[in-house]
Chains A and B, each alone.
Chain A
Amino acid sequence: MAARSGSRPDESPPPLARADGVTKRYRRGSEPGRVARALGRSSPPKVTALEDVSIDIAQEEIVGLAGPSGSGKSTLLHLLAGLELPSEGTVTFQGTDLNTLSTRKRTRLRLEHVGIVFQHFHLLDSLSARGNVALPLVELGVPKKERRKRATELLERVGLEDRVTHRPGELSGGEQQRVAIARALVTDPTLVVADEPTGELDTETGTRVLEQFERVAEDRAVVLASHDQPTLEIADRVVRLRDGRIDEEATVRAPSRTDT
């Protein structure tokens, strides 16, 4: 059996999120149906994306996940955000084992506590920047006036006060990613996960976006997966993954945003 990798801080405050002995396997291809099974087709082989990984995410901590493509960064990010469940092991968020939650409850948990920033932004072309940012508040039943106010404030904080009514198609890549960051923060989540947040941006734009990301995400835990070294430099510690296991964990800087 593979040795457990990763380490856990000894501090007494409970972690915001914790992955404990997590393994994640995926099937290659689809599961055969009854007829195909009757004809002798066996289940497709599985590929292990993560194996026996343990990691704690503390409140207000920025954790970078580094590693080459296929190392398991995105998978660990998805597990911590409750986007999927582990094949083995447990993921807890604020002490709740995500395995015990229904899909509906996990969706609600993401809405209330987790903000997600995608590499490809995934904004709705049909809505303005403000409409995109305000969308999660719709689900929370926030009145329209309040939704507009909060969305506008966040767009101002990421420097897009003059782009509030623009649609994604009218914005640059950097501006779209800043809209996506504002959208991730609009519900005031305790954890923000970002998967290759600068992957679609040039270096200069990426740096500016990260600076704003770091500023607006203060007082929250952030987990960002990237193989871009400058992106990882905003992290308090970087966890390197290789072949689905934690290869190395290093503190990049300490203390983090509290010293700024």
Chain B
Amino acid sequence: MNPARWLLRTGRRLWAAGGLTVAQLRHHKLRLGLAVFGIVLAVLATTLLAGAGVGVLETGQAQFDAADRDLWVTAGETRITAAGGGGFENSLHNSREVAEEMAAHDGVAYTSPLSFETVYVATSLDADFRTFIATGVPNGGSVVNIDEGEDLRGDPHYANGTYEGEMTHEILLDRETARDLNVSIGDTLNVGGSLAAARENEFTVVGYSPTYEQMLGAPTVTIPLSELHQITSNTGTEPATFITITLEDDADVETVQAELQEAYPEYDIRTNSEQLEATLQEQVLVLAAASALIVLAVGAGIALTVALLGLVVYQQRQEFAALKAQGISASTLVVTVIGQGVIIGTLGGVIAVALTGPMVDLLNRLAAIVVGFDGLVQTAEPIYLGGLAIAIGIGTVAAAIAGWRVGRASPLEHL
């Protein structure tokens, strides 16, 4: 056949197959709607879970950056403990002394040991005691941000290591914890590392601070470091989770990091991003679970897309069989089926991507209320593209496979 004539005929066939595709989809609107809805769910599951993964990384990085620290010193792993209400393992001992030594190093502006401990908290001696993470902050340095009320007065109880100075008995809460405990500024709380210590130590709420709630993603109370060591009976070893180091403006982070690491080989000294990486790497189970969720979401999205399109094609098996019996070629049928896959996939993908933004906002609002994190779920261009690729790409491939099977089947199988 003349090539031009062949092209013309093929073009006509393709155009007509496209018309048949659209006619079939338009006629079965409910089926089309359900198939598109399924694809939307599959793609949303993928984009939102992937967005949560990105959000965890970016939020973590933002929290480290917002802490206004340049270097982080740890001893061993920075691990979250499962004991009590949770918290980090405080494996850096004699933290006060080590922090003071490091503060004397060239380029270092100031150092702050930070300790996270599980404590018992109650609104009165008659009330039930509950566990919270308490953050111990030293005197000096912009350690916490205050939303309302006043900052802690300082850490006079330390009194140059004597622990004989006055205890301020001041405490900062995040707003969610304050709501949870039904207390406000000026109210008192019993706080201690044991129930006995909690009964003996009454703290006054002086302000609201979101700083450590956002860093840890859990309800948190903040008190002076020495008072935390006192009420948890840790004044002897003065353990800390980190020592944070803020450098002078003209100091080079990498140079100071290298010098300190050489001087203190027993500690790990990391920059913000290295510390985030190390923290995440040590949460192997959490990361494995998150990765598994993302893989499952993508896998489920693909499986659902394939199953839906297979079902859509299966429901038309008799019609396709009748067409084939009359001499309609397998290639025309395959084009018709692929056309359906492309249209359903594109509609589902575009709707899902359009819904991803609002859904992310909604999830972030919920996350902010429940765990205090802002921007826990975040989207990025690759996530949108991935969602579209799953919907259109997998939709097309699945339809092509279904179409190929339709094309191969004997017409009498379904008539």
Contacts and interface: CB of A to CB of B under 8 A. Distances in A.
Contacts of B415: 118, 122
B26 interface: yes
A144 B24 CA distance: 19
A78 B328 contact: no
A178 interface: no
Contacts of B23: 124, 126-127, 131
Nearest to B21: A126
Interface stretch (A93-101, A103-111, A196-204, A237-245): A103-111
A139 interface: yes
Interface in A100-154: 103-104, 107-112, 114-116, 118, 122, 124-127, 131, 135-136, 138-139, 141-144
B18 to A, nearest CB: 11
Contacts of B326: 110-111, 115-116, 135-136, 183-184
Contacts of B24: 124, 126
Nearest to A124: B319
A126 B327 contact: no
Nearest to A85: B410
Contact of B319 (A84, A107, A122, A142): A122
A171 interface: no
A36 interface: no
A141 B330 contact: no
Interface residues of B, number: 30
5 contacts: A107-B330, A111-B326, A139-B13, A144-B16, A187-B327
Contacts of B330: 103-104, 107
Interface string B321-355: 11111111110100000000000000000000000
A108 B329 contact: yes
B412 interface: yes
Given A124-B319, A126-B24, A139-B332, A114 B8 contact: no
A131 B20 CA distance: 9
Interface in B108-161: none
B322 A138 contact: no
B322 A118 contact: yes
Contact of B325 (A83, A139, A144): A83
Contacts of B323: 124, 135
A138 B18 CA distance: 11
Nearest to B11: A141
B13 A141 contact: yes
Nearest to A183: B326
Interface of B: 8-10, 12-13, 16-17, 20, 23-24, 26-28, 318-319, 321-330, 332, 410-412, 415
A96 to B, nearest CB: 16
A107 B27 CA distance: 27
B319 A141 contact: no
Given A118-B415, A122-B322, A124-B319, A139 B327 contact: yes
A143 B327 CA distance: 18
Nearest to A186: B326
Interface residues of A, number: 33
Given A78-B412, A83-B411, A118-B415, A139 B328 contact: yes
Contacts of A110: 325-327
Contacts of A138: 12-13, 16-17, 20, 328, 332
Contact of B328 (A84, A125, A135): A135
A143 B27 contact: no
A126 B16 CA distance: 14
B357 to A, nearest CB: 35
Contacts of B328: 107, 111, 135-136, 138-139
Contacts of A111: 326-329
Contacts of A107: 324, 327-330
Contacts of A122: 318-319, 321-322, 325, 415
Contacts of B329: 104, 107-108, 111, 139
A122 B10 CA distance: 25
Contacts of B13: 138-139, 141
A109 B325 CA distance: 11
Contacts of B410: 83-84
Contacts of A81: 325
Contacts of B12: 138, 141-144
Contacts of A136: 326-328
Contacts of B17: 138
A192 to B, nearest CB: 11
A115 B325 CA distance: 9
A183 B321 CA distance: 15
Interface in A174-195: 183-184, 187
B82 to A, nearest CB: 46
B29 to A, nearest CB: 11
Q: Which 5 A-B pairs have the closest CB atoms?
A: A111-B327, A141-B9, A126-B27, A122-B322, A138-B16
Contacts of B327: 107-112, 114, 136, 139, 187
B152 to A, nearest CB: 72
Most chain B CB within 10 A, of A103, A112, A114, A138, is at A138
